[in-house]
Amino acid sequence: MFGGTGQIGIEAFSRNAKNVTIVDNNNDAIKLITSNVSKIKVPHDNIKIVKSDALYFLENTAEIFDIVFLDPPYKSKNLLVSCLNLLPKLVSKNSVIITETIIGESPQFFSTCYFLKKTYKYGKMCLNLYKSIEI
């Protein structure tokens, strides 16, 4: 979600993700993502680029994901929480959710289905790794 340049999705594919969906609602970002994806050799259907609002996509997709990476604009904390709240119905049993946030602005636990496993700090930002709770 919030695909930007598409590099996270391209990297995931290069590390053996079978299918990647990159979502962004900005026309310039979609053009850049499309350009970046075209530079790698990938079967047509393995990387899907979707121009959509993140919440609309999550509310309307039928896809099930193993890994979700969310990197919304830093000042849109409510948007991140709204996306996180939609994910439990869209992820597989042993899924991983990663959020990128400014240090100190990590969302609180958004579901009883997940726990914050680890936070990686890089300068002023951090990656928060959530793992599904096995019941």
Taking the domains of the chain in order of start, what are their residue ranges? 1-52, 59-135
Question: Which is nearest to 128 in space by CA: 92, 111, 103, 91?
Answer: 103
Per residue in 25-69, pLDDT (tens digit) is 999 999 999 999 988 877 767 899 999 999 999 999 999 999 999
Is domain 59-135 classified as CATH 3.40.50.150?
Answer: yes
For residue 90, what are the contacts with CB-CB under 8 A and spacing of at least 6?
58, 61, 63, 64, 65, 68
Per residue in 57-114, pLDDT (tens digit) is 999 999 999 999 999 987 776 888 889 889 888 998 889 999 988 887 766 656 677 8
Q: What is the pTM of this model?
A: 0.87
Q: Which two tokens stand for residue 33?
A: 């993502």
